[in-house]
Amino acid sequence: MNTLLAMVISYLIGSIPFGVMVARTKGINIMEHGSGNIGTTNVWRNLGPGYGLLVLILDASKGLIAVLVGRHFGGIETELLAAFSALCGHSWSVFLRFKGGKIVATGAGVILAISPLVTLVALVVLLTTLAISRYVSLSSMMAALSLPITMAVLGMDKLYIIFSCILVVFVIYKHRANIKKIFDGSEYKVVRSRRK
């Protein structure tokens, strides 16, 4: 019962569409602009870095809180089920007719709560890939791929490693359209700033 309660609470927390809510303060329906995604990248492109970072922090907090909720109600299994529920909530929000985002920010919050060191390694991988490729989507996927590797190297509990593998599959699945665009050359690239 405690595990189920933790999952329900975490799903509802994950379902809060912060990207939509933040964009509405500017009179914009973010789901009708850019890629239509409710996450950090689309908000950043349409409203600017300040709003994008705000959505990043808020979405990440959902994952972090879900892990804490799981820990309150049980052990590692409950913690990870709660985290997965938050990811599902973000991706298929009950408040958006089961539409949502790509879980990267919320997933980052989950991993931060589990291991700051693993999060740091993933961030380095993300920034390095972004600097080389300029693809946010590819950078997100590479960061996700680093998670089970880093956890295995650090000798973390196998349940965390299994969860991170599931997270990798989840992230790649949510970015399947981006993968197609990368191959056909139509994926959005971050523009490098030019020094005057």
- Under a CB-based contact definition with an 8 Å cutoff, are residues 146 and 153 in contact? no
Q: Binning pLDDT at 50, 70 and 90, where does residue 67 land? A: very high
Which residue's structure tokens are 């291991």?
115
Share of the chain above pLDDT 90, in %: 90
- DSSP string computed for 87-144: HHHHHSBGGGTSB---SHHHHHHHHHHH-HHHHHHHHHHHHHHHHHH--HHHHHHHHH
Q: Looking at the structure, tell me whether residues 86 and 19 fall in a common domain.
A: yes
pLDDT, tens digit (0-9, with 9 covering 90-100), for 8-46: 999 999 999 999 999 999 999 999 998 888 999 899 999
Residue 123, domain member (yes or no): yes
Residue 79, domain member (yes or no): yes
Q: Looking at the structure, tell me whether residues 8 and 76 fall in a common domain.
A: yes
Inform me whether the pLDDT recorded for 72 exceeds 50. Answer: yes
Which residue's structure tokens are 């609470």?
9
Please tell me the distance from the alpha carbon of residue 50 to that of residue 113, in angstroms, as a whole number.
24
DSSP 8-state secondary structure symbol assigned to residue 75: S
Residue 89, domain member (yes or no): yes
Domain count, the chain: 2
Q: Nearest CA to 87 among 5, 171, 18?
A: 171
Amino acid identity of 132?
Answer: I
Domain of residue 22: give its range. 1-101
